[in-house]
Structure 1
Amino acid sequence: MNLHLGIKAELELLVSPNETAAKYGSGSLEIFATPAMVALMEKTCMICIAEFLDKGQNSVGVEINVKHSKATPVSETVLCVAELVFIDRAKLTFDVKAYDQEGLIGHGTHKRFLIDEDQFRMKMNR
């Protein structure tokens, strides 16, 4: 594993009716849902470190603190940018930002914990 600070990843999502607040049940409007933005942020963080993980190693999300500051309609593209900003042994902290064509729509931090997949599965099969 060769993780280092400053690793970045970007991921785009074309907002469809499947990513709306109405579909998620987090609201009644046909706009990009906060839970969909959070999922996009987590996925971008996973992609950010994927190539640096050893075989059998993975990561799980353990904390997210984000602000969703602007509504985005269906059919617009959202760009998520993640950067690894802190490493504390197995705990990784990312800065995450999401943008649509008009600018910043959400930002915050996400923490992931590195795990050994086999050990994790054994714990889950108590």
Structure 2
Amino acid sequence: MKAGMEVGQTATIEFEVTPDMFAGFEGNVVHRAYSTVSMVYHMEWASRQIILPFLEEHEEGMGGAVSIKHIAPTTDGTKVRVKATLTEIKNNIVITRTEAWNEKGLIGHGEVKQAILPKEKIIQMIADSKQDKE
């Protein structure tokens, strides 16, 4: 990991809610509103923006845990802003606090944990997992 990553750094992404972000299962829309699954994705994506400038060529970030609370609905066409703030670095583990907002206020918050690992280790872990299934 390159030097310079510090607690307090932030990254923000902004987007508009689209039908592919609606809550649904097996192709069936349950609610015409921003899904919790999409919120997890966007919180992970905002958190990843923090680590990207600090990855060495041989490294990659891998999700370790996500904990969120989705507290308010957001409908089609609504603009959403997700902010990640780096709260802790433990060796190769990076932890961020995340918040999602629409024009009415806070719609969700949580925490994302990422591990910075050598790409070769990730490839080996995937291969080992595949062998365990056989």
**Which TM-score applies when normalising by structure 2?**
0.87
More strand by share: 2
CA distance in 2, matches of 1:5, 1:24: 39
**Tell me, which stretches of 5 or more residues in structure 2 are unaligned?**
129-134
After superposition, the CA RMSD in angstroms is 1.7
- Cα 1:113/1:24, change in 2 over 3 Å: farther
| 1:66 aligned partner | 68
Note the residue ranges of structure 1 that are not aligned, 5 or more in a row: none
CA distance in 2, matches of 1:9, 1:34: 20
- Identity over the aligned pairs, expressed in percent? 25
- Name the aligned partner's letter for residue 18 of structure 2: S
> How many correspondences in the alignment?
126
CA shift for structure 1 position 122: 2.4
Alpha carbons of structure 1 residues 72 and 87: separation in structure 2 relative to 1, 3 Å: same
Pick aligned residue for 2:37 from 15, 35, 38: 35
Structure 1: how far apart are the matches of 2:28 and 2:54?
35
In the superposition, the TM-score normalised over structure 1's length comes to 0.92
Q: Deviations over 1:40-67 (max 9, x none)?
A: 0001111111011111211111111110
**Distance in 2 of aligned mates of 1:93 and 1:83:** 8
Deviates more, 1:112-121 or 1:31-40: 112-121
Asked if 2 retains the 8 angstrom alpha-carbon contact of 1:26 and 1:33, the reply is no
